[in-house]
Amino acid sequence: MGVLNVTPDSFSGDGVGDDIEAALAQARRLASEGADIIDVGGESTRPGSAPVSADEEMRRVVPVIERLASEISVPISIDSYKSEVARRALEAGAKMINDQWGLKQDPRLAELAAERGVPLVLMSNQRDKGGYDAKLQRDSADYKDVMVEVTSSLKASIELATNLGVPRENIIIDPGIGFGKTWQQELEIIQRLGELRELGRPILVGPSRKSLIGKVLELPVGDRVEGTAAVVAIAIANGADMVRVHDVRQMAQVCRMSDAIIRREQGGN
């Protein structure tokens, strides 16, 4: 999954703002480099970012998705937790919903996914347990075992989605790297990722350029490609089925090599 941020304030520094031609060029590049899905987002999720209105988010993403849907063959995902944004995005040509709140903010996303028959990514987001900065270390101590918290959160999201009509086979789960955990907890999540297999759904992981890599390697965002590659490879070894990344060319090679080793007995290429 290649990341396309149509925002002016992406943490990774690759947001294209409202420049539709720049967005199209970036999407074409991601597709040519091996992206299987283009994930379009119109609201930054960086620490301390201000939320935007649904109208503003639609203004950013809908024109881009309309153009992409008519010009590239790679499926498009809408990265939004607002059902009205997701509905417009699907009408514009998106084929998937990526909900970073796991239906905690807007359960109507599940009804929309059921109605349209599209895949739905459900993320375990702990930002409501304290979020960022000084509060994060204190509030994250509320859950002694981060995998118990993440698994419980995802189970609840899956149950809500299925109760609202989403077929289980259309659900993908994401443990939420960078969303309300400490960097030490995020390392533990990657190490113990296989425990999420008990939920019986494909696992998506989004470690690309995240702060856990910066903390370990003491590197700025722009210098975290190799660190991202290490996390991606280990995540695949531990059960990840999809990875959401900015550096598609490099990570596509990491994925192919990891699959050749880890999944060769299951018919991987």
Q: Which residues are catalytic?
A: 210, 244
The Cα–Cα gap between 70 and 27 comes to: 12
228: left (phi over 0), alpha (psi -120 to 50) or beta: alpha
3-state SS, the chain, equals CEEEECCCCCCCCCCCCCCHHHHHHHHHHHHHCCCCCEEEECCCCCCCCCCCCHHHHHHHHHHHHHHHHHHCCCCEEEECCCHHHHHHHHHHCCCEEEECCCCCCCCHHHHHHHHHCCCEEEECCCHHHCCCHHHHHHHHCCCCCHHHHHHHHHHHHHHHHHHCCCCHHHEEEECCCCCCCCHHHHHHHHHCHHHHHHHCCCEEECCCCCHHHHHHHCCCHHHCHHHHHHHHHHHHHCCCCEECECCHHHHHHHHHHHHHHHCHHHCCC
